[in-house]
Chain A
Amino acid sequence: MADALTQLGFASWLSVLIASIIKVTLILVGGSVGMMFLTWYERRSISYMQDRRGPNRVGPQGLLQPISEAIKTMTKEDATPRDADKIVHFLAPVVMLGATVLSFAVIPWGRMFPVDLNAAVLFVIATGGLHSIGMMMAGWGSNNKFALLGGMRGVAQLISYEIPQVMAIIPVVLMTGSMSLQKIVEAQNDFAGLGWYVFSPVGLLGFALFFTASLAEGERTPFDIPEADSEIIAGYMTEYSGMKFAVFYLSNYMSNLAVCFITATLYLGGGNGPGVDALGGIAGGLLSLIYFLLKSFALFFVMVLIRATVPRLRVDQLMSFAWKFLLPLVLVNILSASFWVALLRWDQQWPKLTEWFGAPSTADATNWGRLAIAIVLTLLINAGAVALIMRLTNRNVQKHLYTTDEELALGLS
């Protein structure tokens, strides 16, 4: 965009500035409108899951409901507790929203990339990590026991789930050979736009693990312990009202949107789909945007479905799920991703194999054979690991269901 403006006769610094402002505006507007749509979408779909109808009065099918809610929150009183740390209390929602909006800088909209960082994946994870700071600020600054408990829980949860989340991305980075989201999307464009990573055993497991960990990162049910209403009111948001509460809400839903977008980009091929390459140009870009939004909102529907189905976990269940279930599986997935990469690109790793099987990236019989071998091998590894760890978890749960009298007598437990 900056180049086009320079050609129009603007000075180069000015054209960069104008292009950046336009991009920032588009991202902010797109993010907020997406968030507004998301709240409506979630409320409508969860209503139907609960045999209700949801907001359907304001505007066509209730689509304008988020706008009325926005006006409502903006006109509400903005109360700050007397003993709160005023500055921290004020800054917490800003930090939360800032962290979310930053991650939108690299998120692609279909095939349109606001910024193509070469370490975009890292950037997304890093900005996601900023959430815990905002949460802790809100919890501490409110000077409220429930807020502090919520903030502590939130930070503990975010730190625990960042590890499986980051490590679930490593297979994708390994398979692509790059951390750039644009390269990751391009790498999934084989098979007429359907070569998504989710169709490989490594990608499937990675998708499931990443999505689950992201649910916890976005504090979605069943991982909404920081906001557990029945225990600690609204967690770190307890002392917030009016516009500040709305900013928290905005940041939460925007980060959920970001999670859906990133999952769609990493595992579901981003804007790739049949027909995008054939159309090309602006039409192809629009089609890719439609594909991308469809994938993202389908993912969000799964989030809502999980919210409507699964009850909230306990804190210890949450932690053991992260460390005893997700983490081992993620490690195994990295292992099988390494096998996958080694098998599909073995000329780079082991030239001797090229002599036997021929060079990779050629669509001949031996290459299909290699693909088949890679699929079978990684499938065996992953399925075996899932079965083993599920069984171990099962037995572990079984063991701790009861404390026997002998154990009590021995002073165990």
Chain B
Amino acid sequence: MTLSHLATEDVFVVERNDADFRGGQGMTKGLGIVFRKFRKALFGKPNSDRADTEGQFNVQYPEERLAIPEAYRNMPILLYDDATGHELCTSCFQCERICPPQVIHITQAKDPATGKPVPAAAKFVLEYDTCMSCGYCAEVCPFDAIKMDHDFELSTANHPELDVDYNRLLRPVSYYETIAPTMWSEVKEQAMKKLQNNIKRRPGDIGRDHGQKIKGGAPVAAAATPAAGAAPAAGAAKPRGPVAAIGKNMSEDKTAKLLAIRAANAAKRGGGAADAAPVAQAAPVVETVADAPAAASAAPTGPVAAIGQNMSEDKRAKLEAIRAAKRAQRGE
């Protein structure tokens, strides 16, 4: 080894005393340290809070979990308002534009009567398999409609399932409020204000017609998401990702079957009236999933805020009449 090319001050010479007899002291010391580690890890108390530098650091994952920080981001989700069922997304395409791997695909909703664009998304597809969780979409969204979820247990054997459509992306605002309370409270006011403005420009059911049915018209997401939303309203147990994911992790036919059974049960209880409309059919489903606290809301005026479900039939008819009148006014 030559040191001549180095400046003198760069050379660190470790002085080892020649006369000093080191009879394997370093080795024994090292073995002692490792053995102490072994002893502390095996017999010492668990150290999962990292209070000590020795001991068991492991968190036994499926049984124990670390608390996820509020700003943790995994995959994007879309929010809808608990009270009205209106989705916050206005299909402004900001997220689609900024998305680095270009996995967001939005189709804007159009007024079926006029053909003019409406501030709502008709289709919203997000490819979870290619999403890189950068969170740019949530950063850029002017309406706070797209947010990053905390649920990271998304592994599946079914690859096409990872192209997530609007129905499975939607979560109630109350769900996001439980996972990121301070972050939501900062934007809540302006987001809801913007939503109210947008609702005014959405004719009919546009803007709230997702999240309750997938293939075959089975009200899937409606069954799952209000369950997550209803629980905090009742002050009951915290809703978690897995609860909201009932429809997501199951195969589609299985979900459909389950919902058929639920609908049948509901029909039995509620009599023939429950079959009157698919909207009315959805309400008992919510009731079964949301369990006791939400069950009190079986009455049409209850606090369960699924899309259009809190409206009584006559109220709905009245609304339709008003809208028809407006359309007539516009000369269609």
Contact = CB atoms under 8 A, between A and B. Distances in A.
Given A309-B31, A401-B1, 16 more contacts: A45-B38, A49-B41, A50-B37, A51-B41, A51-B54, A51-B56, A52-B57, A305-B35, A306-B31, A308-B34, A309-B27, A390-B22, A394-B18, A398-B18, A405-B4, A408-B4
Interface of A is mostly: helix
Interface in B56-82: 56-58, 60
Contact of B3 (A45, A308, A390, A402): A402
Contacts, number: 62
Closest 9 pairs between A and B when the two form their complex, measured CB to CB: A48-B41, A49-B38, A309-B34, A309-B30, A48-B42, A48-B38, A308-B34, A53-B58, A49-B34
A386 B21 CA distance: 11
A390 B23 CA distance: 7
A403 interface: yes
15 contacts: A48-B37, A49-B37, A50-B37, A51-B54, A52-B41, A53-B60, A309-B27, A309-B31, A386-B23, A387-B21, A390-B22, A390-B23, A394-B21, A394-B22, A395-B18
Contacts of B239: none
Contacts of A50: 37
Contacts of B35: 49, 305
Interface string B17-54: 01001111001001101110110011000010000001
Contacts of A395: 18
A145 interface: no
Interface in A352-409: 386-387, 390-391, 394-395, 398, 401-403, 405, 408
Interface of B: 1-4, 16, 18, 21-24, 27, 30-31, 33-35, 37-38, 41-42, 47, 54-58, 60
A412 interface: no
A380 to B, nearest CB: 16
Interface string A5-46: 000000000000000000000000000000000000000010
Given A48-B42, A403-B1, A387 B37 contact: no
Interface in A247-281: none
A310 interface: yes
B21 A391 contact: yes
Contacts of A308: 34
Contacts of B27: 309-310
Contacts of A52: 41, 56-58
A53 B60 CA distance: 9
Contacts of B22: 390, 394
A398 B16 contact: yes
B192 to A, nearest CB: 47
Contacts of A305: 31, 34-35, 38
Nearest to B31: A309
